[in-house]
Amino acid sequence: MSNHLIAPSILTADFLHLESEIEMLNSSEADLLHLDIMDGVFVPNLTFGFPVIRQIKSVAKKTLDVHLMIVDPDRYLEAYREAGADWLTVHYEACTHLHRTIHRIKELGMKPAVSLNPHTDVSLLENILPDLNMVLIMSVNPGFGGQKFIEQSYAKIRKLKKMITEAGADTLIQVDGGVTETNIGSLIEAGVDVFVVGNTIFSASDPLQVITNLKNN
């Protein structure tokens, strides 16, 4: 059994009962809490801002893994730290000076990650890989939960795993989008360390059991 991490995404949670959803996750075997921040520009969807993150932080017992699907994230790095982000992921496609952004995230005391959209090749990360806590491979086009897993992601994950091994880095591989109890086993084999799971958990009649199943795969 592998020691992979589970990061439930609350994008498809019941926002009318968000506190009880987070308390459910607090009592689960999940390792992180994945927050999808969308600005309606970088992706065609809009989610939530700093007041909601602060409220979530006040009740969450898990590390906050904040995924920024926004343009020009440099504007808000300090604000996300103050709101409670522990891990902060920016999109390669949204950053002009990625090296500076990653080092600023570190200076603020957060763990930095870079996310790649399905069309963006992992080779572009070669020069920044050792500086990263994690690389997030989008296995759906970002913006919505409940989409179908993009099968080409497997080749990308294997190529990234090879890059990390050859660089002697300890960078984690995270996959995000379309993860299910059916495909998690083959994704672990391909080299994934951290799994973002939304719809598979929040559409289940027993989400706690699904999280346990995913964790003990």
Q: Is 36 in the site for Zn ion (CB under 5 A)?
A: yes
Instruction: Spot the catalytic one: 31, 36, 39, 65.
Output: 36
Instruction: Spot the catalytic one: 39, 65, 86, 176.
Output: 176
Q: Residue 117 CB, nearest distance to ligand DX5 (Å)?
A: 10
Angle between helices 18-26 and 50-59 (to 10 degrees): 40
Concatenated DSSP letters of 125-166: GTTTGGG-SEEEEESS-TT-SSPPP-TTHHHHHHHHHHHHHH
In the block, residue with structure tokens 């890989």: 129
Q: Is 36 a catalytic residue?
A: yes
If binding means CB under 5 A, how many residues of this protein chain bind Zn ion? 3
Output Rg (C-alpha) for the chain, integer angstroms. 16
Q: Is 11 in the site for ligand DX5 (CB under 6 A)?
A: yes
With CB atoms as reference, the residue minimizing the distance to Zn ion is 67
Q: Is 197 in the site for ligand DX5 (CB under 6 A)?
A: yes
Q: Is 193 in the site for ligand DX5 (CB under 6 A)?
A: no
Q: Is 179 in the site for ligand DX5 (CB under 6 A)?
A: yes
Burial classification of residue 32, based on how many CB atoms lie within 10 Å of its CB (0-12 exposed, 13-18 middle, 19 or more buried): buried
Site residues for ligand DX5 per CB under 6 A: 9, 11-12, 34, 36, 67, 140, 142-147, 176-179, 196-200
